Homo-oligomer: A and B are copies of this chain.
């Protein structure tokens, strides 16, 4: 059984802790948390420490803290075993400890309040040393049904792609919701459209799924839309519309 220690208490750590605690094939022996908030923890039987000197011996230490803290935090750890972080954008080599290094990146958007099935979350994993790969792969496959051995360079590309697919998509929802709010229209009217936009990708590529005035290069509708937007919305509308027009007119 793989002995695991989890370090961190943010959104990723909260959901990862729940997944680790639920797996019978994982010996989840300890959590480290500076903020030490027991309310956030799914399984209260896992011992929580707030001093790194109290860390027990484990096979894998998972550092699930904010990207910019990983390097400095890992520097103060003196551990044997495999130390991995969970970030999409940070290189494996940013881990500054003497232990063996790896990455276990769950590619999903985590919010505290939102329940999620970890088995459906794709996990990209890598290790510095080849001989650690089987151990980390076993942990990844225990947590998720979708695992990928991806190196740091490729993982960075995947992370920026994920920013478009999630962060920027969500911001498009945000602008749509702002327009609704401003004109006293229920945002609920748009929710089936939003669901269908995502569902279409199960059978169509994004290029095939596109519809609307920009794809048709329908100048009249586009001009009319621009009249109804504020400065910031207009800038985004123009840039994305032109990018869609280019996609369908240049190929």
Q: Report which A residues bind B (CB closer than 8 A).
A: 11, 66-68, 89, 107-111, 113-114, 116, 120-122, 124, 146, 148, 150, 154, 156-177, 179-180, 182-216, 218, 220-221, 224-225, 228-229, 232-233, 235-237, 239-240, 243-244, 246-247
Contact = CB atoms under 8 A, between A and B. Distances in A.
Contacts of A162: 176, 190, 193
Q: Which of A110, A193, A210, A237 has the most CB of B within 10 A?
A: A193
B146 A189 contact: yes
Contacts of A232: 243, 246
This chain: copies in complex: 2
Q: Which of A236, A240, A243 has the most CB of B within 10 A?
A: A240
Contact of A212 (B157, B166, B209): B166
Contacts of A239: 235-236, 239
Contact of A165 (B161, B176, B207): B176
Contacts of A243: 171, 175, 232, 236
For the complex of A and B, the 4 pairs showing the least CB-CB separation, nearest first, are: A167-B212, A198-B198, A174-B206, A173-B206
B169 A172 contact: yes
A215 B167 contact: yes
Contacts of A190: 107, 122, 158, 161-162, 165
A228 B169 contact: no
9 contacts: A11-B211, A116-B196, A120-B192, A154-B185, A157-B180, A158-B180, A163-B237, A169-B197, A198-B198
A215 B163 CA distance: 11
Q: Which of A200, A202, A203 has the most CB of B within 10 A?
A: A200
A9 B246 CA distance: 27
Q: Which of A162, A167, A170, A199 has the most CB of B within 10 A?
A: A170
Given A89-B221, A240-B236, A172 B180 contact: no
A189 B156 contact: no
A119 to B, nearest CB: 10
A170 B198 CA distance: 8
B146 A166 contact: no
B210 A171 contact: yes
Given A116-B196, A236-B240, 13 more contacts: A11-B211, A67-B213, A107-B190, A111-B209, A114-B203, A158-B190, A164-B176, A165-B193, A165-B194, A167-B240, A170-B197, A171-B210, A171-B247
